[in-house]
Amino acid sequence: MKIMAKLILLVGPLKGILALAVLLGALGALAAAAIPVLGAAALLTAAGIGATPAPPEWTPTVFVGLAFLAGLSRGVFRYGEQTANHYIAFRLLALIREKLFAALRRLCPAKLEGKEKGDLIAVLTSDIELLEVFYAHTLSPAAIALIMAAAVAGLVWICHPLFALIALTAHIALGAALPAVASRFAREGQRRLREENGRFAAFYLDSLRGLPELLQYGGAEARKREMGRRTDMADAARRRLNRLESVTGALAGLLVTAFTLLALVAGCLLYGQGRIAAAAVLPVVLIFSSFGPALALTALGSSLPGVLAAGRRVLAILEEEPETPEVTNGESPDFSGAESRNLSFSYGGEEVLRDISISLEKGVITGITGRSGSGKSTFLKLLMRFWQPPANTVFISGAEIDHINTGRLRELESFMTQETYLFHSTIGENILIGRPGASRADMIAAAKKAALHDFVLSLPEGYDTPVGEMGCTLSSGERQRVGLARAFLHDAPLLLLDEPTSNLDSLNEGVILKALREEKSGRAVALVSHRPSTMGVADTVYLLGNG
């Protein structure tokens, strides 16, 4: 209920269109139910039961008119309802995607580290799509079913309260009780299905990425068999849900028949006792023909748990608190150096850094070296405030890092991470990420410092050469130099370089170290590397031991 309420709140600006969808849907459902009722009324009139008999030639006209009117209104109303519902659904999905992106911008980069990445992608793709079911096929159908139940109960009440009781019971059974029971039984199955599907997708992707290894070492056949086994497991989960859907459908059919019979028996008894007129066949027909909207809800029962679980995951991201909240009302100092004082840090479990005091001064290259896993990258990330350092441990320009506006912090710092991500665009645009809007001359200067320029000139279209998806057409050394060019182009007074030369030959390393030496005046450089040749350029070197 809480999740549904929150999802409904997101409708906000589209309330009017939702109301329109409900109105059109209710009118359409009522029109559909009216066809048999009016037809029966015409028959009664023709047969002279109740009112005065009509002339025989009147009957065909009535039927043609009825069919035309009802069909038209039903068609037009239904079309309008569906259009409005899908408009709402897809507008909302677009809106939620935007909100999710904004939320992730707050939550990252901490959120994208670690193991949650695969799950996150599932939320961003399949979960959002599932919400379409809620907005286009659950929300207004529920309102329409409610209106229909009330309208039908009210109309048949005019004839006799017993009919109203039967109608209400039938609508509650079909539109509320049966879907609630079905959704309870489907919960576990939906969870299993998503889990199996997720696992299968991950396995498939893993196999695809590792295909060269599988071919080389002859593992493809076994992998294929495993894939078949996992397909079967996902299928088993799906089959169970299908069975549940069939059973629910059959039960719904039984209930419709039972309640129609009940209304018929009640009508006969009341007529026999002389309590109602012969025209009382009309309420029975109305009850019989009013089940459409309730049946639409019955069919939703087994998919609802999956939809709500998707909604919960989407909402969880929207509501998640970022590791480091954005600072906007802090200081925006000029750069005069950075410092850590007795900095200790852990990612929740074991301590990664203990009592680190390092000062990064202008005009100085500070080298940080140490074995893999000793916390070098973590130290740089804390200087970026990707993670929250303890109070009074990290300072920029003498101010505690938490008190500096996040926008200013990004201006003051250039961070080259260990893995450079390349966007699916040209190599020039990839460098320009470092400073959007920079001139071409500045971009080329940065590329030269990063020992990238000659390589780019050797490409067929120079800086306009596209790099493939995930930059897979570039070698890791070339990719690294693009990352370095970005950092140089950003031109910040605090330069943080995480293993900038790990994939480079000594020739390119030399070019870069020379550039660094030239760049260091007026800026502070933190240079993380385990290469002694790279450490040679540093003025001071810290060795990080076990944290």
Strands (E) across 64-204 are located at none
Minimum CB distance to ligand ADP, residue 352 (Å): 4
Q: Does 377 bind ligand ADP (CB under 6 A)?
A: yes
| Among 298, 378, 420, 534, interactor with ligand ADP by CB under 6 A | 378
Minimum CB distance to Mg ion, residue 416 (Å): 12
Token representation of residue 280: 């009382």
Torsion of CA 34, 134, 23, 65, to 10 degrees: -30
Exposure of 402 by Cβ count < 10 A (0-12 exposed, 13-18 middle, 19+ buried)? middle
Distance CA 72, CA 63 (A): 14
Q: Are strands 394-396 and 338-346 parallel, antiparallel or unpaired?
A: antiparallel
Minimum CB distance to ligand ADP, residue 384 (Å): 12
| Among 298, 340, 377, 508, interactor with Mg ion by CB under 5 A | 377
| Among 374, 393, 430, 529, interactor with ligand ADP by CB under 6 A | 374
Q: Please identify, using beta-carbon distances, which residue of 45 and 378 lies nearer to ligand ADP.
A: 378
Q: Please identify, using beta-carbon distances, which residue of 248 and 378 lies nearer to Mg ion.
A: 378
Distance CA 524, CA 266 (A): 90
Region from 223-231, 370-378, 396-404, 459-467 binding Mg ion, contact rule CB under 5 A: 370-378
How many other CB atoms are found less than 10 A from the CB of residue 453? 20
Region from 68-76, 297-305, 373-381, 507-515 binding Mg ion, contact rule CB under 5 A: 373-381
Region from 92-100, 266-274, 291-299, 375-383 binding ligand ADP, contact rule CB under 6 A: 375-383
Q: Which helix (H) or strand (E) holds 100?
A: helix 58-107
Region from 25-33, 116-124, 376-384, 441-449 binding ligand ADP, contact rule CB under 6 A: 376-384
Region from 90-98, 266-274, 374-382, 423-431 binding ligand ADP, contact rule CB under 6 A: 374-382
| Among 58, 347, 421, 423, interactor with ligand ADP by CB under 6 A | 347
Q: Please identify, using beta-carbon distances, which residue of 223 and 531 lies nearer to Mg ion.
A: 531
Token representation of residue 308: 């709500």
Distance CA 483, CA 489 (A): 10
Distance CA 318, CA 303 (A): 23
Minimum CB distance to Mg ion, residue 498 (Å): 6
* Residues paired with 154 in a beta bridge: none
* Residues paired with 404 in a beta bridge: 331
Minimum CB distance to ligand ADP, residue 130 (Å): 29
Q: Does 376 bind ligand ADP (CB under 6 A)?
A: yes
Distance CA 85, CA 164 (A): 30
Query: Binders of ligand ADP among 353-372, rule CB under 6 A?
Result: 370, 372
Residues 6+ apart with CB under 8 A from 328: 405, 406, 407
Minimum CB distance to Mg ion, residue 376 (Å): 5
Q: Please identify, using beta-carbon distances, which residue of 108 and 123 lies nearer to ligand ADP.
A: 108
Token representation of residue 277: 């007129």
Token representation of residue 221: 């056949």
Binding residues for ligand ADP (CB under 6 A): 113-114, 347, 352, 370, 372-378
Binding site for Mg ion (CB under 5 A): 377
